[in-house]
Structure 1
Amino acid sequence: MKNYFMNSASQFLTGNILKICLVLSAVLLMASACKHAEDEVTPATDATVAENQKVNDWILENMQTYYYWNDKLPANPDKTQAPSDFFDSILYTYDATTNPNGDRFSWIQESAEELESSLSGETTTTGMEYNLYLRASGSTGVIAQVLYVLPNSPAEKAGIKRGDIISKVNGQLLTTDNYASLLFTGTTFTFGFATFNGSSLTDTNQSVSVGATVYQENPVFMDSVYTYGSKKIGYLVYNQFVTGPGGPEDHTYDDQIDAIFSFFKNQGVNELVLDLRYNPGGYTSSSANLASLIGKGISTSSVYFKEEWNSTLTPYLTREYGSGFFVQNFVSKAQSIGANLQRVFVLTTDHTASSSELIINGLKPYMQVITIGTTTHGKNVGSITVTDETGEIKWGIQPIVFKSFNSLGQSDYAAGFAPDIEVEEPAVLQPLGSVQEDLLNEALSQITGSSVNARRAVKSGNQLTLLNSSIQRKAGGGRMIKNLKTLQW
């Protein structure tokens, strides 16, 4: 099958598939029996409603074609709504109690161009990701704990580092009411900090000013090799499945992963720790590339994962492309270290999602996969990027279009993968890659059979209540994305 991420599928279907087209709808103006001048619909309102209907017609027709739950779309949705509201109104909405198999992941963006850029890792950012916690149980106070800082970003240049705690923005203490407006809007920030002594937070007088800028994030964050006797342990921190800065046809980042595994192979690496704790997903092609560098006893005829699409598209895709369209096999990689591995350790948190979970599920039939950390996000479905190639519709949508299964037909992780060894990230964070960092330390201890640097005995979880995370706002966050650009409808 194709090694695609879902990226630009606004092309035309033929035969028995709905033809995607723009439908320009007339606007029906309702008038009351007693019409007054002030009741007249103004031209601006009329134009807005007409534009909404045009965009919403385009949205609905694409969703009727591609959406995994297209048989659950409403029969007569209100097309006069703003496109974002309309899109939300037609989704097969998830509910933990009444509809646990519903849609948690489809989304829409006003600018298709910005959507495609952000999916390749380009965003306007200060260059750091953080978790948001309540200052104390029942409190309305909020703090942001920095998880990692991007190299050469404004945040790094300002001296911000992993583990720093931000308690103020622009002179205001963060609260449940203001944190979103203070942290997620604007481009210039003055961050004030607090310290944590293990039981309480104390605000300090320290502050730094940081400006957000357009930044291309390289998801290949760091790699190391640790040697303990006969154990050569490769370690990779990989924060998003992005093929390259130029989009799905650019394989710059995939090539960097290949180079790292070539180094691992030359170093005789025989144990692997894959750090996906902050990786919310991305291109399935990059996931297949990484899995093919790890899998034991695999070949190009070995199934990595299979896809289930809706009943509208499945017959067409089968007829046009064969049943192989729905199967992603492993790919041949000269840099693979799978022959030297018996198992792989994967570090996880709730941010570990989608194409990251695909790694866990797809490798399990072939080798032991040991997860360390906390329960993963739980996303066993994938999406495509749909844009209007005529350029008339500026919006872009990212609908869920398939469900994934491994070679054994398993797809039972909608609630996430519970860790084999539970280790919660603490309130005081060690640098990534440090042998004293809790999750990595546990993996090293499991591999060596003994405590590494006596760190294992002093692990302690984070007692603060998690509220939100900047990682959830990353494009592709929690997404398993497939590129359909080369398909001809």
Structure 2
Amino acid sequence: MKNTLRLKTAGWGMALLSIWLLSSCNKQTDLVTPTATGTTSDNQTVDNWILENMREYYYWNDKIPATPDLTLAPSDFFESLLYSFDATLRPDGDRFSWIEENADDLSASLSGESTTTGVEFTLYLRSQGSTNVIAQVLYVLPNSPAAAAGFKRGDIISKVNGQTLTTSNYASLLYSGGTSFAFGLAEVQNSALVDTDKSISVTATTFQANPVFMDSVYNVGGKTVGYLVYNQFVPAPNNSTGSEYDDQIDAIFSNFKAKGVNELVLDLRYNPGGYTSSSANLASLIGKNVDQTKVYFREEWNTSLTPYLKQQYGDEFFLQRFVNKSQNIGSNLQRVFVLTTEGTASASELIINGLRPYMTVTTIGTTTYGKNVGSITIVDDSGKIKWGMQPIVFKSFNSLGQSDYSSGFTPNVEVQEPINLLPLGDVNEALLNEALFQIVGSRTARRAAAEPNHLTSLGSSFQRKAGGGRMIKNMLNVKTFKL
């Protein structure tokens, strides 16, 4: 049975590596479009496919049960194979592997295409001890239905389709797959959240998000500061074989270089990861004294597969090196500031870890997600099985052998996002303002004091994208091999 593997690295992000694999499964099966309610026979067909690939590639393949139950529905069967994380019993366990029924939807999401209104938000308990929930809009995708409807960063959603958001219904109201939404809004009045009579109606649509959100250059205190908001490591739109988004990043750094940028603020606070090729591309534009001879990161695979990969492809298979970039501004930089939240994951954390051996990386914000392992997308290329799975297959290390961020990177300077959000790029916006203060030694004038945010977070919309944390490895050459 022929499978397509898109190999990813540590976290919510990597670069796309496509390997055409002829596995040891020689049995030809009938077309199966499995569901959770499929027959036992259908389940066994899919479960055998899952088991075979997991035994081959899973990072913890030595922990897979010897005799798993092949009658389980595929999603349950997949979960039964995992060496699942437990803070006490398995602190080194798996928090990130997942499976989906539709491999095409999975691939589209990895490239930034999804059915969406265009609103990205963080969920909070409305107050301590309450079961009511609010969704604070973090950013709105340009040209999306939400942008056309007038949504803006900082808007607070308290109702959906007339129902107050609570801990028991927010998932079904926001994530159930519906497309028509009437969002009821609240606002902060005298330090209290108050419902308003304002409502915004939006219809979700299939939308390709451009991860290159915005960039600016600021001249502050004699420094020329480049600022980039980058929300996903994606080289190009879904179904493109080009590098449109990477090219946009290159053009931004070409402009930074032309303008003499000598300080850099990289805003990855909402970036859950993506392709390692795009991560390496960005790191290669920033790193000081880096070139194609220097190691960006190294991969560690399971002990049974590693000897084969090493024999076939040599040690270079496990290395992602920097690439030579004429737009690199590293010669003008002594450091880079990275803005972070719990939504900063995978390929974003790879930037922090991979650049630290080469320059000072100062993080500002809150603790990152904590994903130093990588996954691959496995699909059945024959089309007989429609499922796609994303098992963890390796752990990543920087050039100094460091991989100590499974609990996330604690910020060098902690700054919470306030409840009253200013636009991204505004020099008074909390995280950017702190970065400028660190750069020039004095704060720029604020328009108003930020309202403190002491609410309990319940997660965010972008953390749900394609598993909420991915790193995908990119290779130029498609390789065919038989195991």
Q: Which TM bucket (shorter chain)?
A: over 0.9
Distance in 2 between the 1:130 and 1:347 partners?
A: 17
Report which stretch shifted further, 477-486 or 177-186. 477-486
Structure 1 vs Structure 2: percent identity of aligned residues?
66
Structure 2 counterpart of 1:92, one-letter code: Y
Which residue in 1 is equivalent to 2:77? 86
Deviation sequence 1:309-340 (CA, Å, 0-9, x none): 01121111111111111111110000100110
Partner of residue 4, structure 2? none
Residues 1:445 and 2:437 aligned together = yes
1:263 & 1:24 partners in 2: Cα distance?
54
Q: Work out whether 1:109 is the aligned partner of 2:119.
A: no
Aligned to 2:433, what secondary structure does the other structure show?
Answer: helix
Mapped pair 1:64 → 2:55: yes
**Tell me, what secondary structure is at the counterpart of 2:214?**
strand
The answer to whether the Cα contact below 8 Å between 1:232 and 1:268 also exists between their aligned partners in 2 is: yes
How far apart, CA to CA, are the structure 2 residues paired with 1:476 and 1:46?
23
Give how far 1:249 is off. 3.8
Shift in CA distance, 413/198, structure 1 to aligned 2, threshold 3 Å? farther
1:188 equivalenced with 2:198 (yes/no): no
Residue 121 of structure 1 corresponds to which residue in structure 2?
112
Residues in 2 aligned to 1:220 and 1:256: alpha-carbon distance in whole angstroms? 7
1:338 maps to what in 2?
Answer: 330
Name structure 1 gaps, 5 residues minimum: 14-18, 26-43
**How many angstroms does 1:230 deviate by?**
2.6
Against the structure 1 CA distance between its residues 318 and 247, is the aligned structure 2 distance closer, same or farther, given a 3 Å change threshold?
A: farther
Which residue matches 1:398? 390
**Aligned pair partner of 1:377 in 369, 375, 378:** 369
Q: Equivalent residues in 2 for 1:188-227 (5 A)? A: 188-197=180-189, 199-227=191-219
Alignment match of 2:150 (pick from 159, 162, 182): 159
User: 2: distance between equivalents of 1:403 and 1:387?
Assistant: 21
Contact 2:16 2:277 in 1 (8 A): no
Q: Which residue of 129, 135, 145 maps to 1:138?
A: 129
Checking the alignment, whether the CA contact within 8 Å between 1:5 and 1:248 is kept in structure 2 is no
Is 1:5 matched with 2:24? no
Contact 1:362 1:406 in 2 (8 A): yes
Report how many residues are paired. Answer: 464
Q: SS of 2:466's equivalent?
A: coil
| TM, length-normalised to structure 2 | 0.92
Aligned AA (2:160):
V
Which secondary structure does the structure 1 equivalent of 2:83 belong to? coil
Distance in structure 1 (CA, Å) of the matches to 2:453 and 2:38: 52
Question: For residues 359-382 of structure 1, what are the alpha-carbon distances to aligned partners after superposition, in whole Å with 9 as ceiling and x for unaligned?
Answer: 000000000000000000000011
Deviation at 1:55, TM superposition (A): 0.4
Look up the match of 2:468: 477
Structure 2 gaps, min length 5: 1-7
Q: Which residue of 1 aligns with 2:341?
A: 349
Identify the residue that residue 407 of structure 2 maps to in structure 1: 415
Following superposition, the deviation at residue 423 of structure 1 comes to 0.2
Of residues 348, 352, 358 in structure 2, which corresponds to 1:360?
352
Secondary structure of 1:233's counterpart equals strand
State yes or no: 1:73 paired with 2:64.
yes
* Match of residue 280 from structure 2: 288
Secondary structure in structure 2 of the residue aligned to 1:246: coil
Distance 1:6 1:345 in 2: 27
1:97 deviates by 2.2
Q: Which has the higher contact order (CA 8 A, sep 6+)?
A: 2
Deviations 1:112-146 (A, max 9, x none): 11111111111000001101111111111111000
Greater percentage in strand: 2
- Is the alpha carbon distance of 1:248 and 1:488 closer, same or farther for their aligned partners in structure 2, counting shifts above 3 Å? farther
Q: Deviations along 1:298-318, whole A, 9 cap, x unmatched?
A: 121111000000112111111
CA contact (8 A) 1:119 1:476 kept: no
- Greater shift after overlay, 87-96 or 215-224? 87-96
Secondary structure, in 3 states, of the residue corresponding to 2:21? Answer: coil
Residue of structure 1 equivalent to 2:5: none
The 1:75–1:299 alpha-carbon spacing in structure 2 relative to 1, beyond 3 Å, is: same
Partner of 1:48: 39
Question: Cα deviations across residues 270-295 of structure 1 (Å, max 9, x unaligned)?
Answer: 00000000000111110000000000
Question: For 2:450 and 2:38, how far apart are their aligned partners in 1?
Answer: 61
Deviations along 1:367-412, one digit per CA (max 9) or x if unpaired, are: 0000000000000011111110111011001111110000000000
Judge conservation of contact 1:388–1:394 (CA < 8 Å) in 2. yes
* Letter paired with 2:354: G
Counterpart amino acid of residue 301 in structure 1: T
Which residue, out of 410, 416, 421, partners 1:429? 421
Residues 236-385 of structure 1 correspond to what in structure 2 (within 5 A)?
Answer: 236-246=228-238, 249-385=241-377
Distance in 1 between the 2:268 and 2:250 partners?
A: 17
- Secondary structure of the structure 2 residue equivalent to 1:235: strand
Instruction: After superposition, give the CA deviation of every residue in 1:433-458 in whole Å (9 maximum; x if it has no partner).
Output: 00010000000111111111157x94
Give the deviation of 1:9 after TM superposition. 4.2
In structure 1, distance between residues paired with 2:465 and 2:41: 32
Q: Contact 2:225 / 2:265 at 8 angstroms: preserved in 1? A: yes
The residue identity in structure 2 corresponding to 1:145 is: Q
Q: How much does 1:7 deviate?
A: 5.2
